């Protein structure tokens, strides 16, 4: 790492004791200097890119008296650093001494994440007060460049699980502050005679990840984060939370506070304290967290449009108002994004940002093939797996920038799509077989048929198995047998309604995000959208899906016993006006909803014990 910074500097791009009035003045003159060296093709475009990045988050480090503006720009031909020491420091609200040194990092648009490595190196350099003082005192550009090096850490590595304190640092942009906070904590802990390990969650993903052994054996945990991070893995630990700036400004006090903290952190998640999260679970939760807002938007928009329009016998949903039609259309668009988004973010949780496109495109294909959320999960794992493997390819430096922006998206997507395409024909065969099976059951016991219909509806919530049962019910309306659709109408709404009820009866076994998603599930259940249960099923399929199936089976059986008939090709309480035996319909829904909630609570509670 020693020459990373030196290689990007040149004497004619270093200004000593310069008189720049403010950051804008410096950036504009630096752009001119780069243009004179034919390193910048459009100085105005580059300046615009730099300040567009500034709007995302301040790049100043007031505690160190340093500013690090930076940008990737199509106007830059070759990576370069423009540096300056200032004769008159810039005023800064968070620093008494102001900003007295500035580094402008100019990177080409296709430079992948090389700028993050350089920023990390700069951040490490700036932690050494003697080095910073020497840089400020440099008399010439040559002397300044000579001082620009990062000392190699030759200290003996601490074995896994042998740390007194573990920490996570993360800021919204995941650049300099993330790494400076980490270095500050490590350096201060060393001076206190403690072993401390920091996991950084920066722009290039998670680095130096904490292991389960690290967390288990640590006396204290510090989260110095300005963005949301997954906390359930710290269940049962003494957890201290703060912002990144606190770790930078006062690491000594923060470490002492963490060691003195006696409060035990208890996650609201369903995972038990002695049962660490598996990577598989974390990958799935990456997808779940991303789709909950998508499901909420889609579900509420569709619910609003249907609730204000109603359903009619024979034709089902009848939306005639153009505004409501558009609202329903937008909700459908949001729902259409659910599986691709889920797959994309599962892939991101495995391979970071390079995994998004292979996962999302694979998820879109899976949705188009009618594989439902199960196909989306498969696409997410495949996309992430292929992207992670491709990222390890060693390429010559001259073409390495092509890896994240061309090779991984193109090849990763191709491999993912090829694998997902293979499941298309088996799914078609499955659908045909299930349809014939239901036809054969038509002349048998109505109770058995109700149980089968219920189980199929809840199994994959809008996937191929669900659709077979639903379309079978629609076909039976046309045959003059609305009782089959009555079973469907009950079964489609009990999964989301049951989940909503569970989040209200036992909120402690659900986290805040899940409880909020439970309210969205209520709206979707009322209008017969089974997909409202998908986020919960993805997060914990082995516990949630059996609960959903049990409730839908109970609802389907009762609908069959009481000969509930639905004359509209839709389900849920919203079809009540066109249902035969409305009292039996409501009781069947209530019974299925309660069954789902109680079974789900029992399974999740057992898991948490």
Do 255 and 331 reside in the same domain of the chain? no
pLDDT above 90: residue 391: no
Distance between first and last Cα of the chain: 48
Which member of 70, 92, 177, 238 is catalytic? 70
Count the Cβ atoms, other than its own, within 10 Å of residue 38.
Answer: 9
User: Per the domain annotation, does 268 fall within a domain?
Assistant: no
- Tell me: the pLDDT tens digits for 362-390? 999 988 887 777 788 889 999 999 998 88
Which helix H or strand E contains 148, and what residues bound it? none
User: Per the domain annotation, does 120 fall within a domain?
Assistant: no
- Tell me: the pLDDT tens digits for 444-481? 678 888 899 999 999 888 777 877 788 788 778 767 78
Do 252 and 365 reside in the same domain of the chain? no
Band of residue 413 on the pLDDT scale cut at 50, 70, 90: very high
Do 419 and 436 reside in the same domain of the chain? no
The whole domain housing 195 covers 165-260
* 110-119, 126-135, 474-483, range with the lowest pLDDT: 110-119
- Tell me: the pLDDT tens digits for 498-551? 999 999 999 888 876 778 788 888 988 888 888 888 888 887 888 899 999 999
pLDDT above 70: residue 560: yes
Contact 576, 585 (CB under 8 A): yes
Do 223 and 308 reside in the same domain of the chain? no
Do 330 and 392 reside in the same domain of the chain? yes
User: Per the domain annotation, does 85 fall within a domain?
Assistant: yes
Give residue 426's Cα distance to chain centre: 31
- Distance, in Å, from the CA atom of 117 to the CA atom of 123, rounded to the nearest integer, reads 10
pLDDT above 80: residue 112: no
Do 322 and 442 reside in the same domain of the chain? no
User: Per the domain annotation, does 158 fall within a domain?
Assistant: no
Band of residue 160 on the pLDDT scale cut at 50, 70, 90: low
Residue 173: predicted pLDDT: 53
* Residue ending a domain, choose from 208, 230, 260: 260
CATH number of the domain enclosing 77? 3.40.930.10
Do 513 and 472 reside in the same domain of the chain? yes
User: Per the domain annotation, does 160 fall within a domain?
Assistant: no
- Distance, in Å, from the CA atom of 167 to the CA atom of 201, rounded to the nearest integer, reads 11
With CA atoms as reference, report the closest residue to 78 among 119, 34, 144. 34
Which member of 40, 171, 225, 493 is catalytic? 171
The rounded mean pLDDT for the chain is: 82
Residue position matching structure tokens 């209008």: 527
Band of residue 274 on the pLDDT scale cut at 50, 70, 90: very low
Do 325 and 451 reside in the same domain of the chain? no
320 compared with 587, residue with greater pLDDT:
587
- Stretch 397-418: mean pLDDT, rounded? 82
Beta strands across the sheet bearing 205-207: 205-207, 196-202, 165-170, 220-225, 239-242
With CA atoms as reference, report the closest residue to 72 among 185, 214, 173. 173
DSSP 278: P
pLDDT above 50: residue 1: no
Count the Cβ atoms, other than its own, within 10 Å of residue 19.
Answer: 10
Total domains in the fold of the chain? 4
* 122-136, 379-393, 492-506, range with the lowest pLDDT: 122-136
Band of residue 272 on the pLDDT scale cut at 50, 70, 90: very low
Residue 35: predicted pLDDT: 92
User: Per the domain annotation, does 34 fall within a domain?
Assistant: yes
User: Per the domain annotation, does 11 fall within a domain?
Assistant: yes
pLDDT above 80: residue 427: no
Q: Transcribe 306-354 into DSSP letters.
A: HHTT-EETTTEE----HHHHHHHHHHHHHHHHHHHHHHHHHHHHHHSGG
Please say if 70 is a catalytic residue: yes
Do 406 and 449 reside in the same domain of the chain? no
User: Per the domain annotation, does 154 fall within a domain?
Assistant: no
- Distance, in Å, from the CA atom of 13 to the CA atom of 106, rounded to the nearest integer, reads 12
* Residue ending a domain, choose from 425, 447, 467: 425
Q: What size, in residues, is the chain?
A: 609
Do 497 and 443 reside in the same domain of the chain? yes
* Residue ending a domain, choose from 369, 397, 425: 425
- Distance, in Å, from the CA atom of 65 to the CA atom of 248, rounded to the nearest integer, reads 13
CATH number of the domain enclosing 207? 3.40.50.2300
Do 306 and 210 reside in the same domain of the chain? no
Do 584 and 569 reside in the same domain of the chain? yes
Band of residue 275 on the pLDDT scale cut at 50, 70, 90: very low
275 compared with 362, residue with greater pLDDT:
362
């Amino acid at each position: 790492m020693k020459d990373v910074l030196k290689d990007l500097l040149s004497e004619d791009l270093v200004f000593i004791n310069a008189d720049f009035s403010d950051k804008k003045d410096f950036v504009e003159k630096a752009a001119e200097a780069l243009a004179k060296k034919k390193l910048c093709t459009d100085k105005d475009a580059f300046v615009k890119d730099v300040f567009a990045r500034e709007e995302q988050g301040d790049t100043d480090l007031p505690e160190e008296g340093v500013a690090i503006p930076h940008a990737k720009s199509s106007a830059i031909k070759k990576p370069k650093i423009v540096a300056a020491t200032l004769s008159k420091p810039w005023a800064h609200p968070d620093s008494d001494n102001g900003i007295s040194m500035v580094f402008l990092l100019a990177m080409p648009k296709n430079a992948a994440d090389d700028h993050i490595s350089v920023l990390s190196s700069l951040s490490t350099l700036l932690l050494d007060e003697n080095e910073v003082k020497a840089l400020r005192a440099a008399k010439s550009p040559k002397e300044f460049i000579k001082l620009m090096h990062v000392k190699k850490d030759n200290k003996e590595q601490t074995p896994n699980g042998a740390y007194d304190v573990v920490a996570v640092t993360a800021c919204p942009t995941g650049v300099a502050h993330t790494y400076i906070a980490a270095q500050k904590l490590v350096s201060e802990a060393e001076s206190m005679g403690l072993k401390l390990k920091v996991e950084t969650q920066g722009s290039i993903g998670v680095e130096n990840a904490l292991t389960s052994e690290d967390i288990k054996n640590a006396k204290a945990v510090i989260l110095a984060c300005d963005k949301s991070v997954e906390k359930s893995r710290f269940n049962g630990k003494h957890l201290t939370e703060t912002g990144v700036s606190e770790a930078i400004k006062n690491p000594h006090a923060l470490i002492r506070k963490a060691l003195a903290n006696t409060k035990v952190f208890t996650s609201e998640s369903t995972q038990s304290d002695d049962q660490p999260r598996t990577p598989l679970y974390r990958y799935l939760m990456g997808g779940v967290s991303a789709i909950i807002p998508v499901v909420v938007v889609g579900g509420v928009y569709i619910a609003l449009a249907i609730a204000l329009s109603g359903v009619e016998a024979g034709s089902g949903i009848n939306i005639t108002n153009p505004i409501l039609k558009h609202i329903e259309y937008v909700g459908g668009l949001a729902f259409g994004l659910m599986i691709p988004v889920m797959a994309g973010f599962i892939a991101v949780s495995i391979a970071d940002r390079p995994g998004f496109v292979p996962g999302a495109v694979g998820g879109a294909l899976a949705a188009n093939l009618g594989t439902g959320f199960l196909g989306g999960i498969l696409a997410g794992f495949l996309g992430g797996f292929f992207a992670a493997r491709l990222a390890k390819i060693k390429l010559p430096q001259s073409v390495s920038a092509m890896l994240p922006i061309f090779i991984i998206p193109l090849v990763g997507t191709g491999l993912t799509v090829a694998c997902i395409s293979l499941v298309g024909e088996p799914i078609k065969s499955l659908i045909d077989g299930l349809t014939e099976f239901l036809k054969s059951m038509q002349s048998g016991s109505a109770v058995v048929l109700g149980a089968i219909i219920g189980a199929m509806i809840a199994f994959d919530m809008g996937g191929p198995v669900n659709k077979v049962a639903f379309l079978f019910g629609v076909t039976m309306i046309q045959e003059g047998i609305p009782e089959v659709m009555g079973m469907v109408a009950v079964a489609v709404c009990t999964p989301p309604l049951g989940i909503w009820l569970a989040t209200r009866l036992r909120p402690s076994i659900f986290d805040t995000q899940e409880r909020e998603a439970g309210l969205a599930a209520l709206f979707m259940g009322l209008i017969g959208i089974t997909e409202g249960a998908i986020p919960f099923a993805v997060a914990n399929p082995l516990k949630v899906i059996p609960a959903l199936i049990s409730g839908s089976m109970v609802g389907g059986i009762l609908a069959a016993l009481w000969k509930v008939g639905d004359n509209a090709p839709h389900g849920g309480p919203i079809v009540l006006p066109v249902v035969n035996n409305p009292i039996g319909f409501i009781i069947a829904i209530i019974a299925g909803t309660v069954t789902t909630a109680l079974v789900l609570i029992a399974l999740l509670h057992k898991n948490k014990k």
